[in-house]
Amino acid sequence: MPLSNVNPDAYSALLAEKVARVEALLSPYSPPTPLVIESSPTAFRMRAEFRMWHEGDDLDYVMFRKGDRKTPVAIESFPIACKNIQSLMPKLQSSLKNNTQLRKKLFQVEFLSTLAGDTLITLIYHRKLDEEWDEQALLLASELKVQIVGRSRKQKRILDREYVEESLPINSKDYYYRQYEQAFTQPNGHVNIRMIEWACECATGLDGDLLELYCGNGNFTLPLAEHFSQVIATELSKTSIRAARENLKSNAVENIQMIRLSAEEVTQAMRGERTFRRLAELPQPLTDYNLKTVFVDPPRAGLDSETEKMVATFDSIIYISCNPETLAGNLEFLSTSHRIEKFALFDQFPYTDHMECGVLLVKN
């Protein structure tokens, strides 16, 4: 997103245009009027990454315009980043600029922060990192009061820890999350809270057990578990399922089973087409659960056709989508068996065309 697009005075008008586009796209499936969750116009992103540009003694954060990967655009301020990242950017730049060991062949910098105030910085290099780098990076981490991870080809150096700690107040209860470096996390912290609360509102009054696909680090899983007897949450990423299990333990939630399976594998297991040793971790056979609701938060490609058919067998489907186009494609099939009971739009990415959507589908 070009920073020239960032115009807080125009935010409401730009959001209204996005809402109108998504409503028109999904209108064939007769959704109700959407609940629209706005973002803060500035200081909303909890993640940011920049190429580092070396020019003599200068060292700048840069980005590139779409279609032009050769002309760097120096970033002197980044108003869409959260206040922690905005505060750290000039301090880090100054420290790196004056440290030969840390700036040598530095290629990219990535920031990951939390609403709880914890921040991790990843420094990525085109060279091998050694003990001298460790020593200087430790001093920098202490100076900035952050975690630092170093990366280069086939190398990762963790000085203390490779994650940040987050605390989210969901419906007056705090949930604690470990978020790993370079693993997926929701980029807009405050909008994420509203998304989770909306999903919990959809779950209120539903009975039976919940199946969740693409559970990530348990972002939605933990609060949703309060609304169901048992939850089976699945995720393919090793890092994400590791975080989800750690978050399950730290929140002392006892009715969730975390299983490392892809959506395709879950579909095969639900149909009885394959057996998976990982399902032996469940305290009872999969078929013994009273799975009446499914929660999905798929990648931009949406649900594949076989997963579509599997989720269509559930009484209720809570679907969070990061891509209205693929959501519309999935609804073309799902609307033959389900109707849209609730509809929400979450502006995770102000000043872009992206819009996060939520629909609650109930079987006809």
Q: Report the chain's terminal Cα–Cα distance, integer Å.
A: 41
Q: Does the active-site annotation cover 246?
A: no
What is the C-alpha to C-alpha distance for residues 199 and 154, in angstroms, rounded to an integer?
A: 39
Distance between CA 282 and CA 221 in Å, rounded? 17
Q: Give the sign of the dihedral formed by CA 282, CA 286, CA 291, CA 293.
A: positive
Catalytic residue chosen out of the listed positions 322, 325, 332, 357: 322
Distance of alpha carbon 154 from its chain centroid, rounded? 25
For 200, the token pair is 């919990």
Per 3-state DSSP, what percentage of the chain is helix, strand, and coil (rounded to 5)?
35, 30, 35
**Count of all residues that appear for the chain in the document:** 364
Please name which of 154, 219, 152, 148 lies closest in space to residue 181, comparing C-alpha atoms: 148
Select from 286, 285, 284, 293 the least CA-distant residue to 362. 293
Check if 322 is active-site.
Answer: yes
Query: For the purposes of burial, counting CB atoms within 10 Å of the CB of 62, is it exposed (0-12), middle (13-18) or buried (19 or more)?
Result: middle
Return the active site residues: 322, 356
